[in-house]
Amino acid sequence: MAATPAPAAPPTSAGEPWLFGRGGSPAPRTGSGRGGHHALSGLAALLFDRDGTLVEDVPYNGDPALVRLMPGARAALEAVRARGLAVGVVSNQSGVARGLLTREQVEAVQRRVEALLGPFDVWVVCPHGPADGCGCRKPAPGLVHAACAHLGVEPGRAAVIGDIGADVEAARAAGARGVLVPTSVTRAREIAAAEESAPDLLTAVRELLAGRWAPADGSRADRAPTDRADAGAARTGGAPKGGALKDRAPADRTPTDPAPTDPAPTDPAPTGGIG
């Protein structure tokens, strides 16, 4: 069932993520988690990146009509819910900081995703840009920490699935497990660095539910990211439908990154509903 539209949440103070509970309503930042997950053993929650993982990556999309599911997304969510695990979304949306998206547009896309995939227990969104110095923009761990706190789940019993290095680095920094599902925007070095990866979203979920990957441990939380993977706007292959920029910061591109094979403007013109 689609989430019912919720009134706009009150503004958050500088540096904080936007947090929404089940059904899209604004959620408290602490204390209201799903306590039943404390009693479960093993994996208790799955957190998903949005663009390029659950839905096709349309740069700075604020138009619900442009939302298209990634292959296997519906089956993956059904499998997780059938096991009684909590589900959430952790998403960088720097289009807000860049002036290309409004909060209302972000929420409209969120409601469309839930109409297609069902309600999530928590959404945590970073609206900041790469230069804002927040603690929530992936690969920083803030989104994962906030989602786990709301769900009442220790990060070590959560897993994050995403399509670029920043997603798995955020998981690692938070003490959670990170699983990479590469797409055409995933860099070769990100694939090589991933400790856990899968060819598609449904396979990633099935492997996690089957317990075929070792759980996260404290050593992962202590490991610093080797190369911040949200840097750069280069693509490593053909773009998926709708184009592909992901939410990377061109100015942060490191010398080890390959030169773009398909150059794109630093801030491409919005492709839907935000111009």
Three-state SS sequence of the chain: CCCCCCCCCCCCCCCCCEEEEHHHCECCCCCCCCHHHHHCCCCCEEEECCECCCECCCCCCCCHHHCCECCCHHHHHHHHHHCCCEEEEEEECCCCCCCCCCHHHHHHHHHHHHHHHCCCCEEEEECCCCCCCCCCCCCCCHHHHHHHHHHCCCHHHEEEEECCHHHHHHHHHHCCEEEECCCCCCCHHHHHHCCCECCCHHHHHHHHHCCCCCCCCHHHHHCCCCCCCCECCCCCCCCCCCCCCCCCEHHHCCCCCCCCCCCCCCCCCCCCCCC
Phi, psi of 90 (to 5 degrees): -125, 115
Distance CA 100, CA 127 (A): 11
Q: Which candidate, 246, 249, 253, 244, places its Cα nearest to that of 266?
A: 249
Catalytic residues: 49, 51
Distance CA 252, CA 245 (A): 14
Peptide bond into 255 cis (omega under 30): no
